[in-house]
Amino acid sequence: MSEKVLLSAEEKELFRDSLGKFLEREIEPYYDDWEKEELWPREVWNKLGENGFLCVDMPSEYGGYDASFELSCLITEEIARAGYGALASSVSVHSDIVVPYILHLGTEEQKQNIIPKMVSGEFVGAIGMTEPGAGSDLQGMKTTAIKDGDDYLINGQKTFITNGQHCDIIVLATKTDPKQGARGMTLFTVHCNLDGFARGRNLEKIGLHSADTSELFFQDVRVSAKEILGGEGQGFTNLMNELPRERLILGVGSVGAAEGMLEITIDYVLERKAFGQPLSKFQNTRFVLAEMKTEIELNRALMEKYILRYVDGELTPSEASMCKLAASEMQGRVADQCLQLFGGYGYMREYKIARGFVDARVQRIYGGTSEIMKELISRELVGR
- Is a pLDDT exceeding 60 seen at residue 183? yes
Phi-psi region of 91 (alpha: psi -120 to 50; beta: other; left: phi over 0): alpha
Q: Quote the percentage of the chain above a pLDDT of 90.
A: 91
Is residue 2 situated within a structural domain?
Answer: no
Q: Is the same domain home to 137 and 150?
A: yes
Count CA within 13 A, CB hemisphere, residue 312.
9
Average pLDDT rounded to a whole number, residues 128-156: 88
The mean pLDDT of 180-209, rounded to a whole number, is 94
Q: How confident is the model at residue 2 (pLDDT cuts 50, 70, 90)?
A: very low
**Is pLDDT above 60 for 41?**
yes
Give me the pLDDT at residue 120, please: 98
* H-assigned helices in the chain: 9-22, 31-37, 43-50, 69-81, 85-93, 99-105, 108-120, 235-271, 283-311, 317-342, 352-360, 370-382
| pLDDT greater than 60 at residue 249 | yes
Predicted pLDDT of residue 212: 95
Q: How far apart are CA 363 and CA 331, in angstroms?
A: 8
127 in Cβ contact with 284 (< 8 Å): no
Residue 324 lies in a domain: yes
* 3 inside domain: no
**Would you say residue 1 lies in a domain?**
no
Give, in degrees to the nearest 5, the angle at Cα 241 between 237 and 245: 150
Say if residue 89 is in the same domain as residue 206.
no
pLDDT at 124 exceeding the cut of 50: yes
One domain for residues 273 and 248:
yes
Question: Is the C-alpha dihedral spanning 224, 227, 233, 239 positive or negative?
Answer: negative
| Residues 340/238, Cβ–Cβ less than 8 Å | no
pLDDT score of 4 more than 70: no
Out of 232, 242, 246, 259, which one is annotated catalytic?
Answer: 246
Domain shared by 375 and 240, yes or no: yes
Average pLDDT score over the chain? 95
The values of phi and psi at residue 58, to 5°, are: -75, 150
- Tell whether the model's pLDDT for residue 1 goes beyond 60: no
Among 123, 139, 163, give the residue marking a domain's end.
123
pLDDT bin (cut points 50, 70, 90) of residue 179 is confident
Q: Please tell me what DSSP assigns to residue 136.
A: S
Share of the chain above pLDDT 70, in %: 98
Residue 101 in any domain: the answer is yes
103 and 75 both lie in a single domain: yes
Tell me if residue 43 is catalytic.
Answer: no
What 8-state DSSP symbol labels residue 82? T
**What domain count does the chain have?**
3
> Residue 29 belongs to what domain range?
9-123
pLDDT band at 339, cuts 50/70/90? Answer: very high
Q: Please, which pLDDT band fits residue 271 given cuts at 50, 70 and 90?
A: very high
Per residue in 217-234, pLDDT (tens digit) is: 999 999 999 999 999 999
